[in-house]
Amino acid sequence: MDFLWFSLVGLFSGIFAGMGMGGGTFLIPLLTIILGVSQRIAQGVNLLVFIPLAVVCLIIYFKRGYIKLKGIFWLYIPAVVVSAVGAFFAGKIDSQILRIIFGVFLVAFGIFWLILTIISKMQKKNKQQKN
């Protein structure tokens, strides 16, 4: 029966990832809250799932010309370093603290996107009033 639940969680997070919403945003809470997986394992699973998906997306984006290679190493090198440091500390932090940090991140991310959406709608409204 666990196989069914884990498969459904994977399916839903894959659907959301395919829609551009970030599958990990759904995968980690579903694994931890509904299926009782520890935060550390849920985040590790998310990273393992992310790697092949990221490679496929990079290939598709590159073929469509969405990726500019100029200056990519200035983005790539810090991202790899920060990811490695983050993974190291995530392995050392208590699972409960990791859960709180992730929750704060999700709330902050939600507020950030809410503010961006409001600003965008206000700009569109102002643009329409000027025309």
Domain count, the chain: 1
- Residue pLDDT, tens place only, 79-125: 888 888 887 887 788 878 888 888 898 899 999 999 999 999 999 88
The type of residue at 58 is L
What is the span of the domain harbouring residue 66?
2-130
- Residue pLDDT, tens place only, 22-79: 777 788 888 888 888 888 888 888 888 877 877 888 888 889 998 888 878 888 888 8
Q: What pTM value is reported for the model?
A: 0.57
For residues 38 and 93, the answer to whether their CB atoms sit within 8 Å is no
Length of the chain: 131
Is the pLDDT at 2 greater than 90? The verdict is no
What pLDDT does 116 receive? 94
* E strand or H helix at 114: helix 95-130
Classified as helix, coil or strand, 101 is: helix
Nearest to 45 by CA among 109, 105, 110, 90: 90
Contacts of 55 (CB under 8 A, 6+ apart): none
Separation of alpha carbons 102 and 9, rounded Å: 19
